[in-house]
Structure 1
Amino acid sequence: MIQNEITENIYSRRSVRKYTADPVSNEAVLTILECARFAPSGLNNQPWRFIVVDDSEIGRRLSTLTHYSEIVASAPLLIAVFLDTAASYNREKDLMAIGASIQNILLAAHSLKLGAVWLGEILKNKDEVSKILNAPESFELAAVVAIGHPIDNFSETADRKPLNELVFKNKF
């Protein structure tokens, strides 16, 4: 297999759920958001919108809305990712584009030596999240990404199914 900086970043990224209390720098936040906005989207409509949360009190309030409260409460940075329904042209395609944007967030954070995890379970309380964040009415919560400086060094490989279980009519 071909190995390079991009493939290595993809192979080595892990979901990180424990962070130090150190804040994430503004420069890192801007880099992560820039990478997020460069994700592909149908018709280049860029349906994603972001609300950045670096206030621990707001993080604590959001943490009460999920089973993963410890992760949310301890993360020095949360990025709430929304579908802007006013900018949406095809919900299914736009949600896929938002998934690509979130993957860019995760990879950018990893490349900056930060840890991150994509949280979807909080969607069960998406209306309450939107109220806490004062999100515009056209914003529909798609996910929350927790980001911070990892406590642990995750160098081990996560279990992955072999390609022959995932690819049909393959030539590998």
Structure 2
Amino acid sequence: STIHKSKGREFDTVYMLLNNVSCINDEEKRKIYVGLTRAKEELYIHCNNNLFDNITTNIVCDENVYDEPSEIMLQLSYRDVVLDFFKDKKDTVIKLRSGDILQIEEEHLCAVIDGKLIKVIKYSKAFKEKLDFLKAKGYELTTATIRFILAWKGKDDENETAIVLPDLSLKKR
């Protein structure tokens, strides 16, 4: 989960991956504070600058270079799908369930509904670029399942729209 999404929640173990983060303003300080205070048992901070150098505690510096993971799981968000794509698909989306397996196409994910293969998710331009980047690194999209079915309402819309957010699994070739 992101630091912003974790506000108000607690976790047994928290890993914070801070890439050149600086606390130059109150908003940045609040985000770091929220992240630090989410851990109930263990807190691991991975930081590539001197933000925590003045803290006196045990520090472990790991200089190892690790291989990229053989598998990546992506949990798509609102930004990763074309929200307007769902506007005329409410009758289709309400037939779907969390956990349903989706068929993978180039720019869409499809579901089999009433014996027909129907496009139910369209990737956003930014997500297509992310997926292309991962494919160039040798990853292949292997499975897609429905994680959430949510209601979304655009700022100029009168009615809510049912949308689908999937989990994607990619494996290194």
Task: Flag the structure with more relative contact order, 1 or 2, with Cα contacts below 8 A and sequence separation at least 6.
Answer: 1
TM, length-normalised to structure 2: 0.24
Q: How does the TM-score come out when normalised to structure 1?
A: 0.24
Greater per-residue strand proportion: 2
